[in-house]
Structure 1
Amino acid sequence: MKSTAVVFDRPKQLSLQALELPEVKVGQLEVAVQYSGISTGAERMLWDDSISALPGMGYPLVPGFETLGQVVKAHTGSKLKEGDMVFVPGANCFSGVQSMYGGAASRLVVSDQLVLPVAGELGVDAVLLALAATAYHAVSGGGMHEPFTPPDLIIGHGVMGRLLARLTVAAGCPAPTVWETQAEIAQGAKGYSVIRPEDDPRKDYQAIYDVNGDACVLDHLIQRIRPGGEIVLAGYYKHGLEFSYPTAFSREARIRVAAEWKRSDLLAVNQLVNSGQLSLQGLVTHVQAFHTANAAYETAFGDVSCLKMVLDWSAHA
């Protein structure tokens, strides 16, 4: 059986290809994809070949780690059954291409231990679970130690910044301030304030979380923390990071890198969504049919009004 997949043939060039789908084995599921999100972090760096040092990196490759689909075939003994809706954080089921991360396709064969059952009423918003888990992990650390200090300042009001702000408010913590320089993106805050950096006089933040991925902002952020404060790098950085040591020294600054989410983070945010504590609504701004993938990727990476682009696979025969 063939699956139609988005394939990055080389940097900044993609095609839709019919790839052979393997047979479902013990412990696996076949999933008919309904939606797959386009990541403007990791996936954008795959697109322009700025993370070529990753193990297994190479072209051609199938991207995608934000996938919602329906189980159409489950092996005997699986806890999941046909008709169940699942979130798929990537797949590795195609031959002849790299799977980085392999979820942008019409059909997938995946381990039933990898997917996450989700409520069907979430619909397209379910693709945001990976980003929500990433934001959650930046504070929780994957449950491997005590939670970190939550943000009182967030840099960037894109999807990641909004989710981090929503999670902070949902946890009952003081509402964070969010910095955003683009007026169009600054709109849509609920329960917290969004301001321009130049309009903020504060220089006593305890925990500043950067989700913009701007490698040049570190010195400026260090000047905004109180002594012993922390800068959390939670974005994707194409270039090396530098900072002025005397300023950091005078504040005894701490700089922490937030890694990718763990399974425990995904389970936690799914529970928050199911309980109504965390809303994913209003973050998916663009949905396009899979056969317009070229235009969709151009919009996702080039249109400032596009917070989140999703490919719709539901009409695939």
Structure 2
Amino acid sequence: MPADERTPARGPKPQVSIRDVAERAGVALGTVSNVLNRPEKVAEATRERVQRAIEDLGFVRNDAARQLRAGKSRTIGLIVLDVGNPFFTDVARGAGDRAAEADLSVLLGSSDQSTDRESGFIDLFEQQRVQGVLISPVGDVDERLTRLRDRGMPTVLVDRLSQGRHFSSVSVDDVGGGYLAVRHLIEQGCRRIAFVGGPLNILQVADRLQGATKAAAETRGVQLEVLSQPDLTVRAGRDAGQEIVERAPADRPTGVFAANDLIAVGVLQAFSLLGPLTVPDDIALVGYDDIDFASSTVVPLTSVRQPSELIGKTAVELLLAETEALAEGRPLDRQQVVFQPELVVRESSRRTP
């Protein structure tokens, strides 16, 4: 084909501006702005003419720029320890549902228990000027979060009690939950009990171990050992389960308390595939979180239940309250909401004492 007959290359289609809409509708720029932001101030006929121009031109409003000018975002940042954990998926669902009721959106980030990733998400949300941040911290982030709050960006801790009440928080009594789990194993006749979970620098894990230790200390003859793991995953549970399987029968625990349900599922897999060890006759097993999958495992899993979706919803409620207080210049009322856990007993721990 001759060069002059070729179809010329086309670049990206120019973005339609609010000025283009005003010219198409034959109105002032301010009129288009009112249609977009305060439609009740515009006569119906004019409003319809502007809407037709918007549709004809394919105009899309730039909310990001508008929010930047207004200094107020319609998004909330949420940082969780592991988005692959169904517990945090449910927390995010609860937060998203409550945020939607307030015409807000949730931006989700998973730290994967990494302080570097956690810091990166905090930086990102600060740059995006989100309305506020919900976070389940890996480590000590008080200084970073204080800086956010000083810049008008409130923060609520999720699944973590605020030490010193520096921030509002929504959490569960994990010490009490760990106590419930091990007290139950003791009542089922277990005297050699293993706590499987980690890393122990995660406060929730440390609190569950503290409760387990307290329960074990109350009964004479009970031994509690700690099988620390690098993370809270199914694979970590399988590794711990394999270690138990490879022991001599006399050295094996008669009960296992897993720091979360994913660990418990991994332990159960190892017992079934490598043992075979029978749950609960050989070893009774208790998990934590009561994720949906807990009741559907090969042996339905006893677990300590947390109100996961309610945790997410409540965190957004606290954030909205702080946002309103900041806007009105009122002092922040830092609330600490602590839910009580519940032991849900299933076949994995039902034994004859």
Give TM-score, length-normalised by structure 2.
0.32
Of structures 1 and 2, the larger Rg is shown by 2
Question: Structure 1 length as normaliser, TM-score?
Answer: 0.35
Structure in which a larger fraction of residues adopt helix = 2
The structure in which a higher percent of residues are strand is: 1
